[in-house]
A and B are shown apart, each in its own frame.
Chain A
Amino acid sequence: MDRADNPYAPPQVVDSAEAVEGLAANADVLGALVASELTRARPWIRSIAFLFLFFGGLILAGVFTALIASGAALAPMLVTTGVVISAFALLLLVSGLMLLNIRRRINEYARSHSPLRLEKVLLAQNSFWKFTGVTAVIFFAIYLLGAAFWVVTLIQHSL
């Protein structure tokens, strides 16, 4: 007799990914398993968000303090550096706020386990992926240009 058809078979221990996948095919169990994974990620997301916000705020405060301290004698170079660093700080602040939004959406999903709430979590995450993706591509292009310039300079110096 097949094990699945035997009513006297002992209960099986769920210790393999396949067994969990089989279990998870039920909507309630699936909702709870997804919520468990998301809520276990939540403290990490919160910590990362607070670090981004803390460092973003710290950098902005530092730039403003330096600009105010230098007074009327603002060199154009100093202003340009200040603007670039402030833009970087703003990127950190926006990323931090997006992460806090993801955390809020996870909280809402963890309370209801509803697929509609899961969609909201994914929407919030996708905003974060897009924002960091575009930022990463821009930074990588700048890094690539810098690296090319560095290689040319290195070769010129070695000749």
Chain B
Amino acid sequence: MDFDATSDSPRSSSQLSAEPFASQRIMRLLATAQAWCYVLAYVGFGYVALSALRLGITVAVIGAEAIVSPALMLIGLLMALVLYGVPSWMLFRYAQRIGRLRQSGDPGLLPGVFAAQRQFWIAIGLALAVVVAGVICVIGVDVSQMTM
């Protein structure tokens, strides 16, 4: 702790008052979160890249006209973008904000860090809603085919 708080500038005094929120322990916990969030984000980006690569290789090897359902493959790629790409980007932004907070040590950046985290949860929630809607549609189509 900095006991030499003789400066009367508003920034130094306010930083001191908010210091418990930028304690070493909180910073260490945020550093761990940052590392894992980068891992998760890169895995998500990797999954989207692999999906795109798979589409590209399929087109290159067997030709676009030979693909049974190109529309389905494109939908798959779009789904990968929505389900993995967007949440991964949100997680990446969260990790970046933690990095900025750790660099500056300014506890005032903490609400922004948690705002980025909230956006990640919203993205995951919406992605799951898309998945649930898809599952319900598939079950609905199956049931309607069985009753016909």
List residues of chain A with CB under 8 Å of any chain B CB.
Answer: 4, 17, 20-27, 30-31, 33-34, 36-38, 40-41, 44-45, 47-48, 51, 115, 118-119, 122-123, 125-126, 129-130, 132-133, 136-137, 140, 143-144, 147, 150-151, 154-155, 158
Contacting pair A37 B117 (CB below 8 A): yes
Interface size on B, residues (CB 8 A): 48
- Which residues of B from 1 to 50 have beta carbons under 8 Å from A? 10-11, 14-15, 17-21, 23, 25-26, 29-30, 32-33, 36-37, 39-40, 43-44, 46-47, 50
| Residues of A contacting B: mostly | helix
Given known A-B contacts A122-B29, A123-B29, A154-B58, A38 and B114 have beta carbons under 8 A apart? yes
Contacting pair B111 A133 (CB below 8 A): no
Instruction: Tally the A-B contacts, defined by beta carbons under 8 Å.
Output: 128
Q: Which residue of B lies closest to A20 (CB)?
A: B111
At the interface, yes or no: B132 with Cβ under 8 Å from chain A? Answer: yes
Residue B17 contacts which of A25, A45, A51, A154 (CB distance < 8 angstroms)? A25
A-B contact pairs, 29 of them (CB 8 A): A20-B111, A21-B108, A21-B112, A23-B108, A25-B11, A25-B15, A27-B19, A30-B107, A31-B21, A34-B21, A34-B110, A41-B122, A44-B118, A44-B122, A48-B125, A115-B21, A122-B26, A123-B29, A126-B33, A129-B36, A132-B40, A133-B36, A133-B40, A133-B43, A136-B39, A140-B47, A143-B47, A147-B54, A154-B61
Given the complex of chains A and B, what is the CA–CA distance between A22 and B107 in angstroms?
Answer: 10
Chain A residues within 8 Å of B39, by CB: 133, 136-137
Q: Determine how close the nearest CB of chain A comes to the CB of B2; give it in whole angstroms.
A: 14
